[in-house]
Amino acid sequence: MLKMRHCQMVKVREEEEQKKEKARIVLPQDGILSLEGFVNVYESELREGKFWGIAHDLAVMGEALPDAGVFESRYDRMYCSASLHPFAVLDTVSTVPCPNKSEPSDHLPIAASFVPR
């Protein structure tokens, strides 16, 4: 049973890898990307949430997006039940855009310690 299950898992992984390979964007043999192909690349980037890639490409072409300053908001949150009380909270803040030399990710760490109520 275990051996058969392992074989099924390997087969599923192989099928997933084949799907990924088919989804890859490949330049045409003549090296010229059509307008439709170009639009498809950027639509794919946007669907995957890779806005920074498009912003980078625009900047390289001399059409940089306006600088809106450092993004100041919060996406990451921690929740706990009513039976716990937060005892200590680490809330990391950056005053410069991330990633940067001292913070290699745009996801800043958060942590908390809880005690029973």
Query: For 54-93, what is each residue's pLDDT tens digit?
Result: 888 888 888 888 877 766 666 677 888 889 998 898 878 7
Look at residue 45 in the predicted model and tell me its pLDDT.
83
What is the arithmetic mean of pLDDT over 40-58?
82
Question: pTM for this structure?
Answer: 0.35
Q: Which residues fall within 8 angstroms of residue 35, CB to CB, at 6 or more apart?
A: none
Does the pLDDT of residue 115 top 90, yes or no? yes
Does the pLDDT of residue 24 top 80, yes or no? no
Q: Which residues fall within 8 angstroms of residue 38, CB to CB, at 6 or more apart?
A: none
What is the arithmetic mean of pLDDT over 8-31?
63
β-pair partners for 62: none
